[in-house]
Amino acid sequence: MSIGQGTVTVLMIGDLVGRPGRALFSSLIGKLRAQYAPDCVVVNGENAAQNGRGITAPTVEFLLKAGADVITSGNHIFGQKGFTAAFAASDRLLRPLNFPSECPGKGHVIVTTPSGVTLAIVNAQGRVFMHEQLACPFKGMESLLTFLRTQTKLIFLDFHAETTSEKQGMSYFLDGKITAQVGTHTHVPTADERILPNGTAYITDLGCCSALNSMLGMNIQSVLSRMITQLPSKFAVEENGPHVLRGVCIKADTATGKAISIERISIIETNLVINQDTAGKE
Ligand SMILES: [Fe+2]
Ligand SMILES: [Fe+2]
């Protein structure tokens, strides 16, 4: 429910990494709902399946049942064989809009909240130091916005990109045209949340939801070994706690589509239970 007439509240949660990420979300969403009273909850699920790669239909269904309204993603979205079934499971699962049209899914969804507010959630991916072959995300956003703005002024973007510069560039390109842009992909949160001059809420990266003492959610030794020896090493999701959930809460004016506030969320959980009840099946 909204905090008042004319206001909408959206939670945007960073990349859920494997079972710990899913368990963090399902275990803490009740507390987040009590504290922030969100009208819509968006989570990034590109690492939600086993080994922290991709997403499957059971994972999509688990996250939606647990309380996600929309699942965004990124470069790892097709990391599991079951990705076609995952997209068939729900139109609330997004992939970056600038992937080729042959890819399943789409880059935006329009949702109506229980309080009757229409929002657009959008997912795009950067190209610098990652998929350079993708279509231009700037042109893609420009084109999509001509349609979305006929539907709603409340537009929330998860821009999945590697570099701070490309994320900042997109934010100034879109300032005043969308309600909020959050970043994902680096798995490391930034402390630069603010409202830009023309009313768009912004944070360069949300950070991920994972084991706290890990490397981007992965076991430290498995990553360090490859860094030091240059020999192949299988990365494994770190499951040992403590764990951390990261995201933001954004409030916006429904009449203007401008952001009112953006608050960073970081919750450290020392007693996270990870089992089939809290993390679902893969
Ligand atoms: Fe990620
Ligand atoms: Fe990513």
Weakly modelled stretches of the chain, pLDDT under 70: 1-5
Neighbours of ion ligand 1 (CB under 5 A): 15, 46-47
Query: What is the structure's pLDDT at 282?
Result: 79
Helix (H) or strand (E) segment spanning residue 48: none
Query: What is the structure's pLDDT at 32?
Result: 98
Q: Is the dihedral of CA 71, 77, 81, 84 positive or negative?
A: positive
**Residues acting as catalytic residues:** 76
For 258-270, give one letter per residue: b (16+ CB within 10 A) or e: bbbebebbebebe
Give strand pairing partners of 181: 157, 202
Contact 251, 40 (CB under 8 A): no
Place of tokens 């009112």: 260
CA of 220 to the centre of ligand 1 (A): 16
CA of 187 to the centre of ligand 2 (A): 8
Query: What is the structure's pLDDT at 233?
Result: 87
CA of 75 to the centre of ligand 2 (A): 5
Fold of the domain built from segment(s) 7-209+245-265: Purple Acid Phosphatase; chain A, domain 2 (3.60.21)
Instruction: Classify the phi-psi angles of 217: left when phi > 0, otherwise alpha if psi is within -120 to 50, otherwise beta.
Output: left
Query: What is the structure's pLDDT at 2?
Result: 41
Neighbours of ion ligand 2 (CB under 5 A): 74-75, 185
CA of 6 to the centre of ligand 2 (A): 34
pLDDT, one tens digit per residue, over 120-171 is 999 999 999 998 899 999 999 999 999 999 999 999 999 999 999 999 999 9
Instruction: Decide: residue 173, CB within 10 A, 0-12 exposed, 13-18 middle, 19+ buried.
Output: middle
How does the average pLDDT of the chain come out, rounded? Answer: 96
Query: What is the structure's pLDDT at 248?
Result: 99
Q: Which ligand is nearest to the CA of 129?
A: 2
Query: What is the structure's pLDDT at 3?
Result: 46
Contact 184, 13 (CB under 8 A): no
Contact 206, 183 (CB under 8 A): yes
